[in-house]
Amino acid sequence: MTIILDVRDVYKRFGGIEALKGVSFSVRRGERVGLIGPNGAGKTTLFNIISGIYMPDRGRVIYKGVDITGWPAYRRSRAGIARTFQIVRPLANLTVLNNVIVGALLRTNDIREARERAMEAIDMVGLAGKEDILAKDLNLIEKKRLELARALATQPELLLLDEIAAGLRPREVDDLVYTLLEISKRGITIIMVEHVMRAVMNFAERVIVLHFGEKIAEGTPREVASNKLVIEAYMGTGG
């Protein structure tokens, strides 16, 4: 059992808001983790800290046994940490293929290799045949898949997904979860931040619950769904 990620006592404050108040958890290599919690719980902030967009005020991020707390985002990307964004933002006037090549070029400077990685990633997410379509002409589920392909093209070992199922129909959610399970089978560790419970319950082996910047529960999807603190947290904010 190898630990790929160890988040240790992470704090983050924005002005008067304490977004994270001492969050700790570990993730095993190859694990499928769900990260849930009401709006404003600190989920995206945690992703921003793991991916290097923000530095924590206190605490450490250990990746593959190395303290990466001070590393800039590009260095983490090269080390195998990739993420998708809550608001999908493909380069609208580029084709699917070129969007994904941009992702691949984060990891390699060789354009031929980048193109190969991009084609593999496009295939993995089910967009094969749509390489030449402009990103702006894709529908929502295709845009989500493109976002996923861009992250995969960086050859991640740890993939962070921020609300990738938001706005999708149940059938589309199920299809996307199937794709994510296939990606997981390749050995990629995935942490999924998600409000769509159907996605979390069908995907995650373990769920971590954040509330007001603190971890309030952790367990199997079933355990967490019946946890009193979790139910109260969701009822309290109407989330």
Ligand X SMILES: Nc1ncnc2c1ncn2[C@@H]1O[C@H](COP(=O)(O)OP(=O)(O)O)[C@@H](O)[C@H]1O
To ligand X, the closest distance from the beta carbon of 120 in angstroms equals 30
Question: Which member of 24, 39, 220, 226 binds ligand X (CB under 6 A)?
Answer: 39
- Do 72 and 49 contact (CB within 8 A), yes or no? no
Any contact of residue 236 with ligand X (CB under 6 A)?
A: no
Any contact of residue 45 with Mg ion (CB under 5 A)?
A: no
Question: Which member of 4, 34, 35, 44 binds Mg ion (CB under 5 A)?
Answer: 44
Any contact of residue 14 with ligand X (CB under 6 A)?
A: yes
Among 35, 15, 20, 56, residue whose Cα is nearest residue 212: 20
Any contact of residue 22 with ligand X (CB under 6 A)?
A: no
Q: Where are the beta strands (DSSP E) in the chain?
A: 3-14, 17-28, 32-36, 58-63, 66-67, 81-83, 158-162, 189-193, 206-211, 214-219
Q: Which stretch binds ligand X (CB under 6 A): 3-11, 37-45, 115-123, 143-151?
A: 37-45
Rounded Cα distance between 117 and 111, Å, is: 10
Question: Which member of 32, 43, 83, 107 binds ligand X (CB under 6 A)?
Answer: 43
Question: Which member of 4, 10, 45, 207 binds ligand X (CB under 6 A)?
Answer: 45
Any contact of residue 19 with ligand X (CB under 6 A)?
A: yes
The first and second tokens of residue 236, run together, are 């309290």
Of 15 and 65, CB closest to ligand X? 15
Burial of 90 (0-12, 13-18, 19+ CB in 10 A): buried
The dihedral of CA 38, 41, 44, 47: what is its sign?
Answer: negative
To ligand X, the closest distance from the beta carbon of 41 in angstroms equals 4
Task: Provide the binding-site residues for Mg ion, judged by CB under 5 A.
Answer: 43-44
